[in-house]
């Protein structure tokens, strides 16, 4: 079903793949906010610093 669906005039899967790539920017931003608030800017795993 999804394979035949269209989004913005293009195949929906293709548009979703494009959005998936850009969603990584959002992932990076959320991780950055967590690092800032819970780990003083250091890279962390959801606020927890391994070393």
Partner 1 sequence: MMLSVTFGIYLLSLIAIGVYFYFQDDATLPREYLIADRNVGPWPMAFSQIASMASGWTFFAWVGIGFTLGFFGFWWAFITVALYILLYRYLAPKFRRQSEELDSITMVDHLSRFYEARGSEMASVIRLIGGITVLVFLTAYVGAQIIAVGDAADIGLGIDYTTAIVVGGVAVALYTGLGGFNASVWTDFLQGILMVFLAFALPVALIANIGGWGTFASRATTEYPNLVSLSAGLGTVDLITLMAIFGTFAIAAIGQPHSLVRFQAIESERVISKAMVIAMFISATRMTMPLLIGVSARVLYETAEALPAANPENAAMFAIVDLFPAWLAGILLAGVVSAILSTSDSMLLLLTSDAIRLYEKYINPDASQQRKVVLSRLLVATVALFGVVIAFFRPGTLFDIILFAFVGLGVALGLPLVLLLFWDRMTAEGVVAGLVVGLGSNIVHAFWIATDLYPIFTWPVTIVAILGVCLVTGGEREVTQPAGATPED
Where along the sequence are the contacts to partner 1 (CB under 8 A)? 6, 8-11, 13-14, 17-18, 20-22, 24-25, 27-29, 31-32, 35-36, 40-43, 49, 51
d(CA 48, CA 51): 9
To the nearest whole angstrom, how small is the minimum distance from the Cβ of residue 15 to partner 1? 9
14 in helix, strand or coil? helix
Q: 16-25: long-range contacts at Cβ-Cβ below 8 A with a sequence spacing of 24 or more? A: none
Element housing 46 (H / E): none
To the nearest whole angstrom, how small is the minimum distance from the Cβ of residue 7 to partner 1? 10
To the nearest whole angstrom, how small is the minimum distance from the Cβ of residue 21 to partner 1? 5
């Amino acid at each position: 079903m999804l394979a035949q669906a269209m989004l913005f005039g293009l195949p929906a899967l293709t548009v979703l793949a494009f959005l998936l790539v850009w969603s990584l920017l959002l992932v990076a931003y959320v991780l950055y906010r967590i690092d800032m608030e819970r780990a003083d800017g250091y890279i962390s795993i959801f606020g927890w610093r391994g070393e």
